[in-house]
Structure 1
Amino acid sequence: MADANDGPVWARPRPAPRRQAPSVERIVERSIAIADAEGMSAVSMRRVAADLGSGTASLYRYVRNRDELVELMVDAVWADELPEPSGDWRRDLTTFARSQRDTLLRHPWLSAELTGRPTFGPNVLRRSEAALAAATALTPDITLASQVVGTVLAYVRGAVAAEIAERLAHLRTGLTQEQWQRSLGPYIRGVVESGEFPHFARRVVEADEPPAEERFAFGLGCVLDGVAAGAAGSAWTAARRLDR
């Protein structure tokens, strides 16, 4: 018979809180604050316990190791509620994508924690359910709907990674993007004047630099156009096969 304490952290009963001991909510909240301020490398059971004025052993009553603590952290940051679905798949997936972006930007450590096996905490499951519900308004095929959600998530994470990389470059060099671009001015002028890279030269001389929000919206629109076309094409292919 399986022990009640086996399985993922979500499936195990939580021990009753002890007097003066931090709750699991406080433990997770403090862990997230440390990660937001200093990065995930600063999060350890010892550090969190010290910040809470508690013994490390009190943390181990709730989580067996740091990996379980990270699972709780990842789930907790997705606690914000999404609006009620509108029934319009494009509007709902846009809302979902923007919410994902906002959360990832608030917690720069989070993207790296999403690259491995997924966590299945209650907040993550609620978000997944909302995204799949939006996608099934586009296509009732759950396999295709899942691929649609995966494609949207891949775009969001890639776009956010570029934004976070710029933030980190600013912190590392002390230069804003504009200051960095000015520092390259003489070199870029030489590249433009060489005539060897005419399209790059046009981009430097003629192209605007839209803000990050505008770039994200444009890319997301392209992705949604693409998944709509892809879902329609896949449905047509499946119908053709059934006719044979």
Structure 2
Amino acid sequence: MARPRKPLLSTGRIVATARALVDTEGLAAVSTRRLAAELGVSGPSLYNHFRTKDEILEAVADSVSAQVDLSMFEDGRPWRDALHDWAVSYRAVLSRHPHIVPLLAAGPGRRPAALRLADAVFGAMVDAGWPPAQATSIGALMRYYVMGAAIGSFAGGFVDDAAAYDPADYPHLGQAHLLAERQQKIDQRAFETGLSALLDGLEVQYRELAAEQRAGHG
């Protein structure tokens, strides 16, 4: 029997195609009609795998969460190093899929990979000695920071036209037109600067917490 010309329709193929659409054109580009056309199938055949377009987008979001490295929470790294390395991995993943960030920012809901991510961060912080309430806050804080960094580019927000920044109006922006061409380097440095400052602050809180615990047992 002749082999089919197109790969058989599968959940994975639908998600991969939808993710590619989101990456290139944004969330609004995804519709069941558009997906069916991209996949070369009839629209109703998608409903054998997903009931709604929203279910497809949920699966796309979770496929992105699944790309985030969580090994740093399992190999014995100190909590600060683990948070740093996880944040770097998380931002790298979101930088490859920036259009899905608004959906991820709504929270994990019932998505398995997103829930494993939240569980790993919270569990690692509690295991390191953070009280559960503070471990929850740390997870939220890190998510705010990483997602905020992934939503847009500071350097990319400036144009490469020196005339746009008249020194009479903006005396301190004489070099701002150079930011766009150095976007990746500047944004990476800004992310690392903020991440170090954030972790420094948590380190101070952690030491104070340890001192309070020692005093309480003294």
| Same fold per superposition (TM over 0.5) | yes
Asked whether the 8 Å contact 1:71–1:119 carries over to 2, the reply is no
Question: Once the two structures are superposed, what CA deviation does each residue of 1:185-227 show, in whole Å capped at 9, x if it has no partner?
Answer: 3x2x11366xxxxxxx3x758xx97621111111001111222
State whether structure 2 residue 53 is matched by structure 1 residue 94: no
Q: Give distance in 2, aligned partners of 1:104 and 1:225.
A: 24
Of 47, 56, 61, which aligns to 2:48?
Answer: 61
In 2 relative to 1, CA 117–158 (structure 1 residues): closer, same or farther, beyond 3 Å? closer
Asked whether the 8 Å contact 2:22–2:29 carries over to 1, the reply is yes
In 2 relative to 1, CA 235–146 (structure 1 residues): closer, same or farther, beyond 3 Å? farther
The amino acid across from 1:150 in the alignment is: A
Of 79, 82, 97, which aligns to 2:70?
Answer: 82
Higher-Rg member (1/2): 1
The amino acid across from 2:37 in the alignment is: A
Of 115, 123, 126, which aligns to 2:113?
Answer: 123
Identity of aligned residues (%): 29
Q: CA deviation at 1:160?
A: 1.9
Structure 2: gaps of 5 or more residues: 1-5, 180-184
Instruction: Tell me which residue corresponds to 2:168.
Output: 190
Provide the secondary structure at the position in 2 that maps to 1:139: coil
TM, length-normalised to structure 2: 0.79
More off after superposition, 114-123 vs 42-51: 114-123
Q: In the comparison of the two structures, how many residue pairs are matched? A: 202
State whether structure 2 residue 167 is matched by structure 1 residue 179: no
TM, length-normalised to structure 1: 0.71
Instruction: Tell me which residue corresponds to 2:205.
Output: 230
Q: Give distance in 2, aligned partners of 1:140 and 1:190.
A: 51
State whether structure 2 residue 122 is matched by structure 1 residue 132: yes
Question: Once the two structures are superposed, what CA deviation does each residue of 1:139-185 show, in whole Å capped at 9, x if it has no partner?
Answer: 3412211111111111111222232x765x6xxxxxxx4614x1323
Question: Once the two structures are superposed, what CA deviation does each residue of 1:36-72 show, in whole Å capped at 9, x if it has no partner?
Answer: 1111110111111111111111111121111111110
Asked whether the 8 Å contact 1:111–1:157 carries over to 2, the reply is yes
Q: Give distance in 2, aligned partners of 1:118 and 1:133.
A: 16
Structure 1: gaps of 5 or more residues: 1-18, 170-176, 194-200
Give the alignment's Cα RMSD to 1 decimal.
Answer: 2.9
Asked whether the 8 Å contact 1:93–1:134 carries over to 2, the reply is no
State whether structure 2 residue 201 is matched by structure 1 residue 214: no
Q: Give distance in 1, aligned partners of 2:214 and 2:43.
A: 60
In 2 relative to 1, CA 51–71 (structure 1 residues): closer, same or farther, beyond 3 Å? same
Q: CA deviation at 1:122?
A: 2.5
The amino acid across from 2:13 in the alignment is: R
Asked whether the 8 Å contact 2:108–2:115 carries over to 1, the reply is no
